C-alpha cells in the first residue's frame, strides 16, 4: 500500500513539531511553518494544497496567543476561522481528508460537568470565537474532516504554562496561581501520538468516522494544582539546587487578563472512546512522562488515571 501524502501546517508549533516527527513513520510529510505557509493568506493556502495534492491535511497551525487576540482580532480570525475554511474547501476539491484542532475555549465555562460535543458553544474571548468560527467554516465546506477539540496544551517548546512555571520557579520564591479555573492539561506529544495512531489505521478508516470529537487526557485540575504538580515533578530532580517556590492560590479577579477564560473547560471524551475504542492517559501520567524525558505509555492504550 502506498504511503499517504500529508500536508502539515504549523510544523514548528508545540503540536505540529510532535506531529511532524510521529507521522513520518506512516506517511510522506510536507511540513510547513508560518514562513513556508502564511495561514492568513487564503491564496497561499489554496496554492499550497493544489501544489501538494495531499491525501490528508493536518492543520496544527493556529493563532494561540489568547490575550493578544483581543487586540488583534483580524489576525486571529484570519488564521483560526478563515484558514480552516479554505483548507476544508481545498481538501474537498482534492478529495483529501482534513484533521483540525480546536479548543475548550469555545465554551463559556458555566457547566458543572464535562462538556460533550453537543453542548452549546458560547465563547468568552476573541480567541474562542475565532476557533468556533473555524469549526463552522469546516462544516460549511462539507469536507471530510475530523475536528479535535482539546485543552491546556503544553510541551517543552514554544510558550505555555509548563515552561512559564519552570522559568518562574528559578526566579521567584513565591508563585501566585489562579485556582478557580478548572480544565485538563494535555501534553502536545500525547495529542500527536493519539492522532498518529488514528492515521496509522488508514485513511479509509478515518473517512468513515469524520466529525467533531473531544480529544483530551483524563482527569481535571486547576491551574494552581497543575503548577504544584509541575513543581512536584521538578523537585524529584536530585540535581536541582534551588528550592521550589511557595505556590499561593488566587482568584481569577486577582489576575486580570485581556481575554476572559472559561471557569470550567473539562471535555468529555466519551464519543471519542465510543468511536475509536481508545482513551488517552491521565494528565498526571502525561506530565510525568513529559518532565522525565521518558516514553509515554503506548498511545491511547492506557485507561484513565488521575
Residues marked active site are found at 127
All three cell numbers of 82, joined, read 478563515
Cβ-based neighbour number of residue 112 at 10 Å = 7
Alpha carbon distance 194, 273 (integer Å): 12
**CB distance 137 to 84 below 8 Å:** yes
- Cβ atoms of 137 and 85 closer than 8 Å: yes
DSSP string, 65-130: -HHHHTT-HHHHHIIIIIHHHHHHHHHHHHT-EEEEEEEGGGS-S--SS-B-TTSPP--SSHHHHH
- 142: number of Cβ within 10 Å: 10
CA distances from 211 to 73, 143, 206 (A): 27, 10, 10
> Cα–chain-centroid distance for residue 212?
14
Side-chain half-sphere of 154: how many Cα atoms within 13 Å? 25
Amino acid at each position: 500500500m502506498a504511503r499517504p501524502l500529508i500536508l502539515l501546517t504549523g510544523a514548528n508549533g508545540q503540536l505540529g513539531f510532535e506531529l511532524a516527527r510521529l507521522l513520518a513513520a506512516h506517511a510522506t510529510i510536507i511540513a510547513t511553518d508560518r514562513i513556508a505557509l502564511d495561514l492568513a493568506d487564503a491564496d497561499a493556502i489554496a496554492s499550497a494544497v493544489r501544489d501538494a495534492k495531499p491525501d490528508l491535511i493536518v492543520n496544527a497551525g493556529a493563532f494561540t496567543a489568547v490575550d493578544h487576540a483581543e487586540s488583534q482580532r483580524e489576525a486571529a480570525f484570519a488564521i483560526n476561522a478563515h484558514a480552516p475554511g479554505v483548507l476544508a474547501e481545498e481538501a474537498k476539491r482534492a478529495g483529501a481528508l482534513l484533521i483540525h484542532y480546536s479548543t475548550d475555549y469555545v465554551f463559556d465555562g458555566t457547566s458543572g460537568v464535562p462538556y460533550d460535543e453537543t453542548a452549546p458553544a458560547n465563547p468568552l474571548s476573541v480567541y474562542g470565537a475565532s476557533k468556533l468560527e473555524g469549526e463552522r467554516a469546516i462544516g460549511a465546506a462539507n469536507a471530510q474532516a475530523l475536528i479535535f477539540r482539546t485543552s491546556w496544551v503544553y510541551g517543552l517548546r514554544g510558550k505555555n504554562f509548563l515552561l512559564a512555571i519552570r522559568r518562574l520557579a528559578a526566579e521567584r520564591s513565591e508563585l501566585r496561581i489562579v485556582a478557580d479555573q478548572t480544565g485538563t492539561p494535555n501534553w502536545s506529544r500525547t495529542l500527536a501520538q493519539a492522532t498518529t495512531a488514528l492515521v496509522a489505521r488508514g485513511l479509509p478508516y478515518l473517512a468513515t468516522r469524520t466529525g467533531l470529537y473531544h480529544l483530551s487526557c483524563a482527569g481535571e485540575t486547576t491551574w494552581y494544582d497543575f503548577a504544584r504538580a509541575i513543581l512536584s515533578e521538578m523537585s524529584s530532580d536530585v540535581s536541582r539546587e534551588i528550592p521550589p517556590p511557595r505556590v499561593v492560590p488566587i482568584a481569577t479577579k486577582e489576575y486580570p487578563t485581556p481575554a476572559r477564560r472559561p471557569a470550567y473547560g473539562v471535555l468529555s471524551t466519551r464519543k471519542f472512546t465510543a468511536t475509536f475504542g481508545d482513551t488517552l492517559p491521565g494528565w498526571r501520567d502525561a506530565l510525568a512522562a513529559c518532565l522525565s524525558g521518558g516514553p509515554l505509555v503506548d498511545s491511547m492504550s492506557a485507561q484513565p488515571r488521575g
